[in-house]
Each structure stands twice: as C-alpha cells, then as structure tokens.
Structure 1
Amino acid sequence: MKTILKLSLAVLVTMTTISTYAINGDFSLRVLSGNGKEISFAVNQIQKANVAITDRFHNIIYTETVTGKEGILKTYSLEEFPEGTYFLEVVINSKKVTHEIVVTREGSTLSKKSIQDQNIATN
C-alpha cells in the first residue's frame, strides 16, 4: 500500500510540473513542483548553451556554459536566493531567451512564456 501511495505521489508531482517551450520547440523550462525552489531546463539536440541568472537590475548573479552530448538538462537551486524577481537567460547559438523567476518565502514561480526572445549578433 505504501509503495502504491509513493508511486502515485511521484506520478502526481511529475504531471503537475509546469513546462514551457521556446526556440522552435527545442527548449523547455520548468519549475519542479516537488520543492518549488528549483528550476530546471532541458534543451534537446543542443550540445552547448550559455546560461545566466540576473537580478531585476540585470546584474549577473550566476553564469556558466553548459554542455551535453545529445542535449542539456540542468537544475538550479534557488534556496539561497532572497525574495525577489530574477531572470533566467539562455543563449543558444545566436538566440537568447529570457524567462522571469519570482522567488518568495513559499517557493518560486517561473513565467510560462519567455518574456523576451531575441537574436543577438555574434562576433
């Protein structure tokens, strides 16, 4: 009985995960409902992306280049972030997609749609 309950809870958490898509359907971003203080994103069939988390004044809080062989799956914990508004910016090739993140005491929310999509010049 406990096993069935645990499995049902795992399925429920998986089904209630919020997902959005951008960059021609290859880019997905979601808030994990289990904790609420983590964000994850997946990029299908892309091997390299530049990721930045900025504050509301667009000061960079965190940045890294992420890689994967057949795609990218990355999770960030927002546990240490003070309450406020942040932005997740992901650059793949010359396409930049920005999503808004709001962190509260109870958890975090992520905008369902990107708030900005833009092509950027490459050097």
Structure 2
Amino acid sequence: MDVDARIEGLQAEVDRLQGRVDQLEAAMGMTIAAPLEWRLTPAEQRVFGVLMARELATKDAVMAGVYRDAGRDEPEIKIVGVFVCKIRAKLKRFEIPIETVWGQGYRLPAAAKARVRERLALEAA
C-alpha cells in the first residue's frame, strides 16, 4: 500500500472517530454553552450540560461528564452536591431551578429546560 493511500485511510478513521466523540459528548451534555452572564466555571458548565441532556442526572452521570474524560483521579462523589449548590445560587436570579430527586440525583424541570433552550437560541441568532 502506498503512503498516500495509508494516510487517506487513517484520516478517514480519525474523522469517523471524531464524529463518534462528538455524538457521545452531545449525549452527555458536554456541548451546551451557558450564557456568559451566568458565570459558570467550566466544570459547572459540564454539570449543567449533563442536567440539560438527561431527564434525571445521577451523581455518577455528573461525575462522568465532569471528570472521566480527563483521565485524572476523581474527587469524592460529594463534589456533585457542591457543584449543584453553586450552580443553584448562580441560576437563582434567572429562575432556573435544579430539583433534587432524593436518593437518585438531580433534574431540571421541563419548563426550565425550555426557557434555557429559548435563551440559547436567542443568543445563537
């Protein structure tokens, strides 16, 4: 096989894998960019993205969205509650509540998700 054909084949494989990574990141909620005025940190943005992407975000799902792709050690799972507390405080003035589902995880009510999507659409336009 000549070098050009091999390079072309490898590039096609890279493109295919990048497409799969993009799909997985979207499914995990890692592609949502909250408005700047919310002042969410990058980790808080990822937590918020997980909440937007799921009906119910378990603590494990949040940990996966924030830490597991980085390939580094994870902190204690209690950090999820800290993130949620900080995000709640920042989003309170924008009337975006995060509900606790005791023993299961966290969720954004459907009405709040709709408001967020409207806001993101307006900012994108």
Q: Could you tell me the TM-score, scaled by structure 2's length?
A: 0.31
Q: Between Structure 1 and Structure 2, whose CA radius of gyration is higher?
A: 2
